[in-house]
Amino acid sequence: MVKGSATPLKGSYAFRCTREEQKWDAFAPNEPIWSLTDAGPVWGAFLVERFRTLGGRALHLHEHRKRLQLGAEFCGWPAEELVSSFESLVGVLLDANCEIIEQAGDAGVVCLFSPHESGWQSHGYLLPIPFARLHHWYQAGASLCSVDISVPTCSGVPTAIKHRSRFAYWAADKKAEKQQPGANALLCTPAGHLADTSLANIALWNRETGWCTPMDCECHPGSTLAKTERLLSERGESITKKSLGRNDLEQAEAVALIGSTGLVWPITTWNGQNLGTELGMTKVRELQDRWIEFAEIDFVSQAAFWAERDS
């Protein structure tokens, strides 16, 4: 079983800003930064944007800005101001930690926004990339398990908004780990349609239908999936969104996860059952190649290098 670290990068600087202050102050990642009376920790009222650097850079953040704007408008916060704060936070984080990021071989970037007495506050920090786990996924494929926990539904909160109320995903992964060490949970809707995982969106491919994913209303449509749709459309391809069931999963020639940390990687087993075909694996690699071309860095080879160095 391959595990990845979830601790902040050692020696890195994290930053905090409130609307009232309008400046970034460094704080120690392991020290308390929220009041216990804040709506964030009390109600789980956090908007979040998360992505990884590629070659030390943040790729175009259009999809993140668009999603954060929707979240700010929903919360009644000044959207333009919040999006500008996000861009500044990313710049401060990467500039202050450029040497650490280079030494770590890239990093995950986490930006949080929560209510504050002055309106809103934001925090940003870095996490290590779990290169050993990614290398395992790229080479052997990842595993999924079914669990008896459904994807959370809330008709009042748009699915396009990414927030931190994700306890169900954490609990589902714990159950999947007990069923099959190293596996992640594949959550379904209450109606039994495929939804997503804690890590990424799921995508299926067949030669007759091409790529397809669950409908936006049945999952959390991630920013990496949106970027993948854009990359495919530039080549005259598309991703069909429709309700998917277990039969679709079993009959798919390719099953892939599309998410911010690993970007694109294959799923090869589900509940211990083998998935996909050799042709399907080729299609997953083609999708990886398009991302590698777009990112201008071979993240598959990068994972192999750092996994071996850190072993």
Domains located in the chain, CATH noted: 14-128 (3.30.470.10), 133-305 (3.20.10.10)
- Interatomic CA distance for residues 135 and 49, integer angstroms: 24
Q: CB 14: neighbour CB atoms within 10 A?
A: 23
Cα 112–116–117 angle (5° rounding)?
170
Q: Evaluate whether 24 touches 89 at the Cβ level (below 8 Å).
A: yes
* pLDDT of 112 over the 70 cut: yes
* pLDDT of 295 over the 50 cut: yes
Lowest mean pLDDT among 91-100, 127-136, 152-161: 152-161
- Residue 2 has a pLDDT of 40
- Residue 200 has a pLDDT of 95
Torsion, Cα 199 205 210 215, to 10 degrees, reads -40
Over the stretch 144-198, which tens digit does the pLDDT of each residue have? Answer: 999 999 987 766 788 888 886 788 899 999 999 999 999 999 999 999 999 999 9
End-to-end CA distance of the chain: 14
- Would you state the structure tokens that stand for residue 139, as one six-digit string? 């080479």
Over the stretch 238-285, which tens digit does the pLDDT of each residue have? Answer: 899 999 999 999 999 999 999 999 999 999 999 999 999 999 999 999
Average pLDDT of the residues of the chain: 91
* pLDDT of 4 over the 60 cut: no
What is the DSSP secondary-structure string of 243-301? ---HHHHHH-SEEEEEETTTEEEEEEEETTEE---HHHHHHHHHHHHHHHHHHTS-HHH
Q: Evaluate whether 232 touches 262 at the Cβ level (below 8 Å).
A: no
* Residue with tokens 């530039």, as numbered in its chain: 234
- Residue 154 has a pLDDT of 62
Over the stretch 29-81, which tens digit does the pLDDT of each residue have? Answer: 677 777 778 888 888 889 999 999 999 999 989 999 999 999 999 999 999 99
- Interatomic CA distance for residues 39 and 73, integer angstroms: 17
What is the DSSP secondary-structure string of 219-241? S---HHHHHHHHHHHTTT--EEE
- Residue 167 has a pLDDT of 86
Over the stretch 229-239, which tens digit does the pLDDT of each residue have? Answer: 999 998 888 89
Answer whether 0.85 is exceeded by the pTM: yes
Q: What share of the chain is helix, strand, coil (3-state, %, to 5)?
A: 40, 25, 35
- Would you state the structure tokens that stand for residue 299, as one six-digit string? 């993240």
